[in-house]
Amino acid sequence: MRKILMFSIIFVASVMMFFPENGEAVTIEPDGYIGSGLSASSVGTLVSAIRARGYTCSSVTIARKLWGKTGFKVKCNRSTYSYEVIINEYGDYLILPD
């Protein structure tokens, strides 16, 4: 019974880490730019994916779609941190810091 409980705890923690919750509250900077077609909820999902991988993103300076790729460019904390968030055909997030 103890092994099953431990497995359940580890499984739930890993699911929470790799599948970010939708619509996480995120601060958009006053002079920030959110590209067309992106909602506050989708920006929150991108930020959740960034944070889940251990990267820093307290506020969003820019969030826009990447040209020629399936993904997004996200700049955080007054452009101090910059990431490409690539989403593959399986819906997995790949975070590439610039």
* CA-based nearest residue to 73, from 61, 87, 86, 63: 63
What is the total count of domains within the chain?
A: 1
State the residue range of the domain holding 81.
2-97
The residues, any chain, with a CB within 8 Å of residue 6's CB and separated by 6 or more, are: none
d(CA 87, CA 31): 27
pLDDT 10s per residue in the chain (98 long)? Answer: 444 434 333 333 333 333 334 456 789 999 999 999 899 899 999 999 999 999 999 999 999 999 887 899 999 999 999 999 999 889 899 999 98
Distance spanning both ends of the chain, measured CA to CA: 45
This model's pTM is above 0.85 = no
